[in-house]
Amino acid sequence: MSESAELEQAAIRLLTNREHSRAELRRKLQARTEDRVLLGQVLDSLESSGYLSDERFAEQYVSYRRKKGFGPVRIRIELQERGISPDLVNRYADPSDEQWFEWLGECCRRKFGDSLPDNFKAQVKCARFLEYRGFPSELIRSYLWGNDL
């Protein structure tokens, strides 16, 4: 079997488990070959065949992380670390999207119960938790203290 076919099979095996960004797949396959040109050709072939798509990866990754309770700031950083282009990051993890406010509330309710924290100390604790999760401070203030966006 040729080196190209072996690389392609290894890539397809990785992609059957979960979506990967082009940069992630490149990093994982570099251990198998020294030929960067061949690796680029294999990745191009996978993209043209529809097996590899940064857009599909970004969409699925944002959905997965959002369901885990993470906010747009943290997700944006994680997407950038995974080699996703800035325009795709902006499209799928835009902090100005109004749905993030709803998801912030859902995350807060899951952690702290149905009612908003009533004293300042509990509100600050909730705000720290939400900021750690990657929600913008403007959304947190608006949710906890009722400031308009």
Question: What are the boundaries of each domain within the chain?
Answer: 3-52, 55-92, 99-145
**Closest Cα to residue 25, out of 74, 3, 17?**
17
pLDDT at 95: 78
pLDDT at 148: 47
The pLDDT > 90 percentage for the chain reads 65
Element (H, E) at 128: helix 120-132
Considering the four listed CATH numbers 1.10.10.60, 1.10.443.10, 1.10.260.40, 1.10.10.10, the one that applies to the domain covering 99-145 is 1.10.10.10
Question: What are 78-93's pLDDT values in tens digits?
Answer: 999 999 999 999 998 8
The CATH number given to 3-52 is: 1.10.10
**Closest Cα to residue 55, out of 24, 85, 80?**
85
Task: Please answer whether residues 61 and 31 qualify as being in contact, where contact means their C-beta atoms are separated by less than 8 angstroms.
Answer: no
pLDDT at 147: 55
| 142 Rama class: left (phi>0) / alpha (psi -120 to 50) / beta | alpha
Q: Do domains 3-52 and 99-145 have the same CATH topology?
A: yes
pTM, two decimal places: 0.85
Task: Please answer whether residues 126 and 144 qualify as being in contact, where contact means their C-beta atoms are separated by less than 8 angstroms.
Answer: yes
End-to-end CA distance of the chain: 59
pLDDT at 149: 43
Q: Tokens standing for 84?
A: 């996703």
pLDDT at 116: 77
Contacts of 70 (CB under 8 A, 6+ apart): 133, 134
Q: Is the pLDDT of residue 5 over 80?
A: yes
Q: Is the pLDDT of residue 46 over 90?
A: yes
Question: What are 66-75's pLDDT values in tens digits?
Answer: 999 999 999 9
pLDDT at 32: 87
